[in-house]
Amino acid sequence: MAATLNIVRVSASPPAAGIRSEPTIAKLVDTSTCIGCKACEVACQEWNDLPPETTVQMGTYQTMPDMTSNVWNLIRFSEHDTDDGFHWLMRKDQCMHCAEPGCLIACPAPGAIVQYANGIVDFHQDACIGCGYCMTGCPFNVPKFAEKTRRVYKCTMCVDRVAVGLQPACVKACPTSCLQFGTKDAMLQAANRRVEQLKENGFPQAAVYDPPGVGGTSVVTVLAFGDRPELYGLPASPVVPRAVLFWKGALKGIGNLAIAGGVLAAAVHFIRYGRKQKAP
Amino acid sequence: MTPYRFSERIMHAVAAVSFVYLLLTGLAFWTPALYWIATVLGGGFLTRAVHPWVGVVLAVAVTWMFVTWSGVMRITDEDRAWRRSMGHYIRNEDDRMPAVGRFNYGQKMLFWVMAGSTLALLVSGLVLWLPHYVPRSLAPLREIAILAHALAALLTIGAFIVHVYMGVAVVPGGLKAILHGGTTTDHAGARR
């Protein structure tokens, strides 16, 4: 299933659509069945051969405050204590693999960010120049800059495993099936089934988080408090920053025309009026 | 043609060389169609690392220019009169232009546009240089910096096109004056 590396989009390059169509894949994160065991965090470090990062005691069950260039998968923990009861909210923070990836749109380096036909958005550090524009383009604050290599890193959705028909390492390690992997359609179906169950069991506001502002994501999240994604540290309605879209769109066109117009005007002036006769 | 002192010529050369490098590498990051410039100049990774430092060099040179010239660059009533008859200047009808001091209104505008833009480029450039030090809560700052850097750069490119065209192609002795000091015709012996 979707076991190819068929590229559809490359940063700073024309569209690269392949001729094969393949289904979009997705990872399902059911926050309501996450027990916070961190097996996914460990599996991610293991499979991707990431060096250990010192954990930070935050007074909660969270490993550290934020993802780093060596930690691409972080279970965020927050306590929710209101009229509707006391809840431990755990959410898997990682790259969302947007259908409209702000990182890729912002990237100036050809080939540094690619989007595969199966929906995976991947960074190629060999082409990365370390400018950090992807960090500005991302509405989820995912890409992390490594001082040591001066390049940017994030979750690859285990593209190397997916390409050979395996599920991502975190999904493989999850003991509660809170994480599942399959086609986006299948994952959305499973997510919606789960939302129905939650609604019947005292969570009428349960919802699937698949934000349309970024074209949907290849990480589909079930939220028991789906009306308030901020409780989980998720933006309510993420979009690619308008400044980035304007910069890469209209401003680039206007700017290029203005530069060409300036050069052209100088040439026309020279042909019409030419050189001044003597110094003023 | 105004003769330029040795220190002024050095100052201008530093600004010119650093500006051209920044212009070329900046264009490489501005549009993928010109990314090959970064490849020619040592690759995207190196170019990304060097561009900010050369930006610091330009900022120093422009500060030096500001200290040297800001007094003489003040816009006066003479300049306003000059501006009103600028059409004649553009049509090379220089006999119909009012007299000017050391710099004409056009040169002064170039100075102020470059000084202001360099300040904007420096401030926004610092944010773009070290984006990982800008906390997430200040993310809009990075977006503003991206737009400000591009707009200020476009402004300097416009000024640069006019400036180079005037100095090299239109004003006799202009290029020679900024490279070697003066022209033999108008200010012979004024070289210092």
CATH, residue B65: 1.20.950.20
Percent above pLDDT 90 for chain B? 76
Question: CB-based contact (8 Å) between B161 and chain A?
Answer: yes
Helix, strand, coil tally for chain A in percent (to 5) = 30, 20, 50
Inside any domain, residue A262: no
CA-based nearest distance B139→chain A, Å: 7
- The shortest C-alpha distance from A196 to chain B (Å) reads 35
Q: Is any Cβ of chain A less than 8 angstroms from the Cβ of B190?
A: no
For residue B123, the model assigns a pLDDT of 97
Q: Residue A260: inside a domain, yes or no?
A: no
In-domain check, residue B35: yes
Whether A280 has a pLDDT exceeding 50, the answer reads no
Residue B186 lies inside a defined structural domain of this protein = no
Assess if residue B192 is contained within a domain: no
Which residues are CB-neighbours of B118 under 8 A, at least 6 positions away?
Answer: B58, B59, B62, B156
The boundaries of the domain holding residue A154 are 7-244
At residue A70, does pLDDT exceed 90?
yes
Q: Is the pLDDT of residue A85 over 90?
A: no
Predicted pLDDT of residue B183: 55
Residues 122-141 of B with CB under 8 A from A: 128, 131-132, 136, 139
A12: nearest CA in chain B?
A: B32
Domain count across chain A: 1
**How far apart are the C-alpha atoms of B18 and A205, rounded to whole Å?**
58
Structural domain contains residue A272:
no
Q: Given a cut of 80, is residue B130 above it in pLDDT?
A: yes
- State the pLDDT at residue B101: 85
Least confident span in A254-258, A266-270, B95-99, B143-147: B95-99
- Distance, in Å, from the CA atom of A40 to the CA atom of A55, rounded to the nearest integer, reads 15
Residue B182's pLDDT is 67
> Does residue A256 fall inside a structural domain?
no
pLDDT band at B98 (very low <50, low <70, confident <90, very high): confident
Q: Give the CATH number of the domain where residue A30 resides.
A: 3.30.70.20
User: What digits encode the pLDDT tens for the residues A4-26?
Assistant: 678 889 998 887 766 677 889 99
Is residue A254 in some structural domain?
no
Domain presence at residue A250: no
Indicate the number of domains in chain B: 1
Question: Quick check: is B114 in a domain?
Answer: yes
Q: Minimal CA–CA distance to B180: which of B28, B2, B6? A: B6
Does residue A205 sit within a domain? Answer: yes
Q: Tell me, yes or no, whether A165 lies in a domain.
A: yes
CB B52 within 8 A of CB B129: yes
Contacts of B136 in chain A (CB under 8 A): 141
CB neighbourhood size of B91 (10 A): 12
Q: Taking CB atoms and an 8 Å cutoff, what residues of chain A touch B47? A: 129
Q: Which of B38, B97, B158 is facing A258, going by the closest CB pair?
A: B158
Q: Helix, strand, or coil here: A68?
A: strand
In this predicted model, what pLDDT tens digit does every residue of A169-221 receive, in sequence order? Answer: 999 999 999 999 999 999 999 999 999 999 999 999 999 999 999 999 999 99
The predicted structure's pLDDT at residue B177: 87
CA distances from A87 to A70, A83, A90, A232 (A): 30, 11, 9, 11
Task: List all residues of chain A from 31 to 90 with a beta carbon under 8 Å from chain B.
Answer: none
Q: What is the pTM of this model?
A: 0.91
Confirm whether B174 is domain-assigned: yes
Nearest CB partner across the interface for A129, out of B30, B44, B171: B44
| Whether A46 contacts A29, CB under 8 Å | no
Reduce the DSSP state of residue A17 to 3 states and report it: coil
Asked if A266 lies within 8 A of B172 by C-beta distance, the reply is no
Count CB neighbours of B160 within 10 A.
Answer: 20
Q: Is residue B191 part of a domain?
A: no
Does the residue B14 lie in any domain? yes
- Residue among A121, A59, A131, A129 at smallest CA distance from A94: A121
| Residue B161 domain boundaries | 6-180
pLDDT score for A145 = 96
pLDDT value of position A122: 97
Residue A125's pLDDT band (cuts 50, 70, 90): very high
